[in-house]
């Protein structure tokens, strides 16, 4: 009985690549703690902070 090594290895690569796409790594998501006394200034200036980061650095950020 012969086993096609190429077919076996390519199917494992496909499975591994799908797993990487479905779950972001911890390096891709960061949470920044904000002290409660800084919430209002952050909310008031969010557009000024958000716009350059998204346009120049091409990062996706959100205020939750």
The model's pLDDT over 9-25, given as tens digits with 9 standing for 90+, comes to 555 555 555 555 666 56
Query: The pTM is what?
Result: 0.50
> What is the distance between the alpha carbons of residues 7 and 29, in angstroms, rounded to a whole number?
34
Nearest to 59 by CA among 51, 18, 45, 47: 51
| pLDDT recorded at residue 2 | 62
Decide which of 64 and 17 is more confident: 64
> What is the distance between the alpha carbons of residues 44 and 52, in angstroms, rounded to a whole number?
16
Domain boundaries, the chain: 35-64
| pLDDT recorded at residue 39 | 94
Q: Tell me: the pLDDT tens digits for 21-56? A: 666 566 788 899 999 999 999 999 999 999 999 999
């Amino acid at each position: 009985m012969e086993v096609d090594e190429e077919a076996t290895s390519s199917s494992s690569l496909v499975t591994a690549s799908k797993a990487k796409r479905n779950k972001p790594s911890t390096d891709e998501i960061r949470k920044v703690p904000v002290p409660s006394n800084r919430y209002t200034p952050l909310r008031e200036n969010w557009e000024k902070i958000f716009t350059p980061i998204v346009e120049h650095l091409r990062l996706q950020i959100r205020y939750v």
